[in-house]
Structure 1
């Protein structure tokens, strides 16, 4: 996965969440909690830079070269700073996602069920049983995948 993809996803959703706060789905309501929990942990200067880049209500995020020029720094310097801030945000985002994992799963309709652990003997028995079953039965078992 490319660098900080989840961070960029949440940051790009930031203006949408703010503009549509009264119309969010249950999943989006959990995502906004995750977003703001992570944003709260950034420094004010980090939040400001990321907001200038991503919290744009009339289109796409602003081009890095425009923001670098506004700050009086080179494009390379700006990108290095932005990437560091996005990385920091990604770390806080991971913590927030863990904190709200149960709420997110509930909103998604996912129930946390402990997985049953099978012994190697049981796995081998099931594989043998599957391999010995008629082709028609195997096809029926996997027809849901098509």
Structure 2
């Protein structure tokens, strides 16, 4: 099966980026591969000299995931269009904020909890509003 030009160009771009970036230790790469087998176009960035962030495409969605230096998975953000947010979460958000403030929406998965996270802009500042799966606003 022929690959599309779009995928070929993406592969080329990824290869160029991969050759320029620092990669995490083997234990982190192995942990990532176990959690996200067959992830595509993964790029790595060291945050605050302690946490590795992977940005990647997996199961037809864009994700970012955080790992400790010891390879322990911490959390994953997955981009989510507004239409995919459960109605109860949308209703709760709309009670708290005007919809036109939304800059992005994510599902935030941690080992113990799942949140819907709205990135909002108020004036020149960005804020995060988090809601549990049952619509409860979180600090």
TM-score, with length taken from structure 2: 0.22
More helix by share: 1
RCO (CA 8 Å, sep 6+): is it higher in 1 or 2?
1
Larger radius of gyration: 1
What TM-score comes out, normalization by structure 1 length? 0.21
Structure that is richer in strand per residue: 2
